[in-house]
Amino acid sequence: MAGLLPVMSYAELAAAERSWLRRHPGRDWALMRRAAAAVAAEARRALDREPRTVLVLAGKGRNGADAVLAGLILAGRSGKLTVALAEAGVAAGLPTRALGLAKRRRGARVMGWREALRLAPGADIVLDGILGSGFRAPLAPELRALIRAAARLRGLRVAVDVPSGCGDGTDGPCLGADLTVSLGCLKRPLLRARVAAKAGRIRVADLGLPLPAAAECSATSEVLAPLAAARDARSEKRRQGRILIVGGSRGMPGAVVMNTRACLEAGAGLVSVVAPAALQAAATLALPEAMWMAQGDRATARRMRELAATADVTLVGSGLGPSGLSLARAAARTIRGVAILDADALRPGIVRAAGKAAARVLLPHAGEFLRLGGAAATPGEALRLARRLRSLVVLKGPLTCVTDGTRLVHIPHGGPVLARGGSGDLLAGMAAAVVAARAALGLDLLGAVTAAATWHGAAADEVAGERGETVVRTTQLLGGLLPALRRAGGPGSAPA
């Protein structure tokens, strides 16, 4: 599947980069500029405005050079740039070249870190380029003092590739970040719990290096390319998917409405919904594109079984509550297409009841995962649960992951803006729409669910960039769907 980058250690990525540079001599400066541009873009997006002040904590190696170049981009022509040197010397070659650019920039200040932090106790953006992938523990006393002092700096802290003090062989002590931009691929240490706790939001910058395929990888926005492409001119509604949604209850009617709205806006062809009777009239007026049926009606029960047997995808569980478990079980038993189970349907008995489905997709958060698997929610446990249940598992969290029991895909999009009730209901509806259309999109099941989860996170990024992460209603996340597709690019190119 296009748009996936392998998860690698820092040492593995460094070896791949050296190998590429041997075949392309003289391209190291262009590669560094590309990395710096990616860091600057993610930092500016997280800040959501042009920074007036930029503070760069620069080590003597290439990580420091990446940070200096990113600082120059962020400061532009009018911003104030301060470069705080972690050590007295700077490595020859690219680090010296990058620092020379900073020294020649009008108004920039380049000085030792103690003086710099006294003059600039904060900035709009603080770039952490103290230590990179070549760091080996223990920390030198001077660097330990810098990291301790830098922890008190005001501003958005952005780690270039890795929070300084973390690496392949150590979890710190390290400088905490609000945002970490992992260069080239998602680095394996960032998945360790103690490092992830210090890394803040994790984003991955594809530098265009030719990296090997791997069973564990991360998604880039390129996975959205099939969704952004023009549809076949001869397409018709059934090719975009026939979907049945069974959800909602008297106490939680909103979940099934969010399922349905997300499903429709994500491109579904035909959508039928079995929802609480009290909701039917209002829902039909609000979302007339779907066909609404009332729970508890005998004719509906019969029609639900017929649709579950013929639909491409049946989504069950959102907002059903404990009183709806018998309905969930009845629907699950008759599913013959893909079963997507969410929320209250995420119970061992209901998963077993859907045993005749063509495939099962489970979307648990941490609590539901514990109920299903009896273990803490981690990517490794998700891999084992998917294998044991012969299902595809989407483990929702700060770094959502998707696994079919063999392959594992991390989704470095989204973040705290998704930490609100109902965002999982939107994801379930989107997943139903993309999975139902996977044949027309040229995707397998894992690819379709990965695309849906990436789209969900990328849409949240768009909304957070426009509105921030606080003043947002859950359904407003759907407003980011179109901008996320427009931003999605084609296949990545090699470094220029």
The answer to whether the bond into 322 is cis (omega within 30° of 0) is no
The answer to whether the bond into 173 is cis (omega within 30° of 0) is yes
Distance CA 456, CA 130 (A): 34
% the chain with pLDDT above 90: 83
Helices vs strands, H then E, count in the chain: 19, 18
Q: What's the rounded mean pLDDT across residues 174-194?
A: 94
Residue with tokens 């929320």: 343
The answer, yes or no, to whether residue 325 has pLDDT greater than 60, is yes
Radius of gyration of the chain (CA): 24
The answer, yes or no, to whether residue 490 has pLDDT greater than 60, is no
Distance CA 224, CA 455 (A): 7
pLDDT for position 410: 98
The DSSP secondary structure of 22-33, one letter per residue, reads HHSTT-HHHHHH
> What burial class does residue 201 get, using C-beta atoms within 10 Å of its C-beta: 0-12 exposed, 13-18 middle, 19+ buried?
buried
Q: What's the rounded mean pLDDT across residues 315-320?
A: 96
pLDDT for position 91: 85
The answer, yes or no, to whether residue 286 has pLDDT greater than 80, is yes
Q: Could you tell me which of 125, 123, 134, 143 has the C-alpha nearest to residue 162?
A: 134
Question: DSSP label at 229?
Answer: S
% the chain with pLDDT above 70: 98
Q: Could you tell me which of 302, 261, 293 has the C-alpha nearest to residue 432?
A: 261
Higher pLDDT, 471 or 1: 471
What token pair was written down for 119? 């003059």
Confidence of residue 489 (pLDDT cuts 50, 70, 90): low
Q: What's the rounded mean pLDDT across residues 153-163?
A: 96
- The separation between the first and the last C-alpha atoms of the chain, rounded to the nearest angstrom, is 24
The answer, yes or no, to whether residue 233 has pLDDT greater than 80, is no
Within 10 angstroms of residue 178's Cβ, the number of other Cβ atoms is 17
Distance CA 414, CA 459 (A): 8
pLDDT for position 241: 87
Among 21-35, 158-172, 182-196, whose mean pLDDT is lowest? Answer: 158-172
Distance CA 311, CA 56 (A): 55
Confidence of residue 69 (pLDDT cuts 50, 70, 90): very high
Question: DSSP label at 231?
Answer: P
Between the ranges 106-110, 215-219, 318-322, where is the mean pLDDT highest?
215-219
What token pair was written down for 197? 């706790």
Confidence of residue 180 (pLDDT cuts 50, 70, 90): very high
Confidence of residue 258 (pLDDT cuts 50, 70, 90): very high
Beta bridge partners of 339: 314, 360
The answer, yes or no, to whether residue 164 has pLDDT greater than 50, is yes
What token pair was written down for 269? 């062809």
* 3 state SS of 51: coil
What token pair was written down for 496? 């220029």
Q: What's the rounded mean pLDDT across residues 14-21?
A: 94
Higher pLDDT, 415 or 27: 27
The answer, yes or no, to whether residue 495 has pLDDT greater than 70, is no
The answer, yes or no, to whether residue 237 has pLDDT greater than 90, is no
Confidence of residue 491 (pLDDT cuts 50, 70, 90): very low
Mean pLDDT of all residues in the chain? 93
Over the stretch 386-413, which tens digit does the pLDDT of each residue have?
Answer: 999 999 999 999 899 999 999 999 999 9
Could you tell me the CA-to-CA distances from 3 to 56, 185, 346, 396, 496 in Å, in that order?
A: 31, 11, 30, 20, 19
The DSSP secondary structure of 376-430, one letter per residue, reads ---HHHHHHHHHHHTSEEEE-STT-EEE-SS-EEE-----GGG-STTHHHHHHHH
Q: What's the rounded mean pLDDT across residues 179-188?
A: 96
The answer, yes or no, to whether residue 494 has pLDDT greater than 80, is no
The answer, yes or no, to whether residue 23 has pLDDT greater than 50, is yes
Q: What's the rounded mean pLDDT across residues 286-301?
A: 93
The DSSP secondary structure of 293-339, one letter per residue, reads EETT-HHHHHHHHHHHHH-SEEEE-TT--GGGHHHHHHHHHH--SEE
pLDDT for position 493: 39
Distance CA 141, CA 89 (A): 16
What token pair was written down for 150? 């830098």
Q: Where are the domains of the chain?
A: 4-213, 224-487
CATH number belonging to domain 224-487:
3.40.1190.20
Over the stretch 335-387, which tens digit does the pLDDT of each residue have?
Answer: 999 999 999 999 999 999 999 999 999 999 999 999 998 899 999 999 999 99
The DSSP secondary structure of 104-138, one letter per residue, reads HSTT-EEEEHHHHHHH-SEEEEEEEES--TT--SS
Q: Which run of H or of E encompasses 160?
A: strand 154-160
Q: What's the rounded mean pLDDT across residues 196-204?
A: 95
Q: Could you tell me which of 132, 152, 161, 128 has the C-alpha nearest to residue 58?
A: 128
The answer, yes or no, to whether residue 496 has pLDDT greater than 70, is no
pLDDT for position 492: 38
Distance CA 442, CA 451 (A): 12
Residue 413 contacts residue 420 (beta carbons within 8 Å): no
CATH architecture of residue range(s) 4-213? 3-Layer(aba) Sandwich (3.40)
Within 10 angstroms of residue 374's Cβ, the number of other Cβ atoms is 10
Residue with tokens 């947002």: 472
The answer, yes or no, to whether residue 488 has pLDDT greater than 90, is no
Q: From the centroid of its chain, how far is CA 446?
A: 15
